[in-house]
Structure 1
Amino acid sequence: MTSPAPTLRPGDQLASTVCGTRVVVVRAPAGERPGIECGGRPMVPATAAPQQPPSDGGDAATLIGKRYVNAAGTLEVLCISSGAGELSCDGVPMTLKAAKPLPASD
C-alpha cells in the first residue's frame, strides 16, 4: 500500500527517482493531492531524492526550462533539470504548455 501523494504548493521542488528530472511546482490545485510521476515512478521532494546524473539533453523526454500542465490545466510545473522520464499526473501524461503569443507591435 502506498501513501497518498503530498499536498503540493507553488515553489515545491520534486525530483525523479529514475532519471535526472527535477521540477518546481508553479501552480497546484487547492485541496487536491495529484500524484506526479516521472518515468512511471512517483516523484519525491528534491531534498529526499537520490542524486541522479543530469541528462545531456539528447535523449530527454522532459526539457529544461519548459512548463508542463496536466489535462485539466490545474497543475503546472517548470522543469529545472532535464531527464529521460516522461512526466504524468495521476497516470495521464502531462503536456508541454504552449507559449502565449505576444501582441503585435504595429
Structure 2
Amino acid sequence: MSIPLKAGARVKSAVCDTQAMVIKAPAGDYDLQCGGHPMLAPDGNADGASLDANFAGGTLMGKRYVNADESIELLCTKGGEGSMVLNGEPLVVKQAKQLPSSD
C-alpha cells in the first residue's frame, strides 16, 4: 500500500510503538513500512498484524531516518521495535554533518 508523503505528515506503525513525522519528501506515493507492514495515518487502525522478525531493528526517538540519497527524511517521534523501510530500501539514521575545524 502506498501513501502520499509530504512535509509535516505523521505516520505510525501497525505493529509497534513507532511514530514518525515527515521532514522532507519529494512529491509522489511511497511504500513506507515499519516492522514489515505498511505504516498508517495517526488515526489508522492496526488489524492484528504482528512484527516481522526480519524488520525488527528498532527505531529511536529523536533520530532522523533517511534513504540512501537523503531525498526522504523522517523524524522518529516515538521509538519502537520495528525498523522503517521505504520502497524496499531500509531507512538509516541520518549522520551529523562535520563542522569545519577552526584553528
**TM bucket by the smaller chain?**
0.7 to 0.9
Aligned to 2:62: 65
Give the count of matched residue pairs.
94
| TM-score normalised according to structure 1 size | 0.79
**Runs of at least 4 residues off by over 6 Å:** none
Query: Residue 63 of structure 1 contacts residue 83 of structure 1 at CA under 8 Å; is this kept in 2?
Result: yes
Is 1:34 aligned with 2:9? no
Which amino acid is the alignment partner of residue 29 of structure 2? R
- Identity %, equivalent residues: 40
Alignment RMSD (CA, Å): 1.8
Aligned to 1:43: 39
Which amino acid is the alignment partner of residue 39 of structure 1? G
Query: Residue 16 of structure 1 contacts residue 49 of structure 1 at CA under 8 Å; is this kept in 2?
Result: no
| TM-score normalised according to structure 2 size | 0.81
Query: Residue 15 of structure 1 contacts residue 49 of structure 1 at CA under 8 Å; is this kept in 2?
Result: no
Structure 2: gaps spanning 5 or more residues? 47-55
Structure 1: gaps spanning 5 or more residues? 51-58
Aligned to 1:56: none
